[in-house]
Amino acid sequence: MKAKGKFDTLVSQDTPVLVDFYADWCGPCQAMAPVLKEVAQHYEGKVKIIKIDVDKNQPIAQRFGVRSIPALILFKGGNVLWQQAGMITVRDLSNKLAAAV
């Protein structure tokens, strides 16, 4: 299955899907890793978190207007519920996810 088809299938679920657009060379992206890990543990089974490397998946990043990273986009049923570029705290991200669950 092509990346676009697989991505569309993942974000079209009824379970909310948080997509982390990142790059390995990005310092702020690396700093977000512990935030995402903590949130993933708290929302296990309620929210799926996937990572998209923008260097390897440029068409998907371009499709959603990702111009700076890290960028987070929350999907539910294929629809974008929320998106943000840049760093976010565990508390603020948890509040965004709680509204979607």
Tens of pLDDT, residue by residue over 58-77, are 999 999 999 999 999 999 99
Q: Which pLDDT value is given to residue 82?
A: 95
Secondary structure (3-state) at 16:
coil
Q: Is it the case that residue 1 has pLDDT exceeding 50?
A: no
User: Catalytic positions, please?
Assistant: 26, 29
pLDDT digits (tens, 9 = 90+) for 36-50: 999 999 999 999 999
CA 39 to chain centroid, in Å, comes to 12
What CATH architecture does domain 14-100 belong to?
Answer: 3-Layer(aba) Sandwich (3.40)
Closest CA to 18 of 68, 69, 83, 64: 83
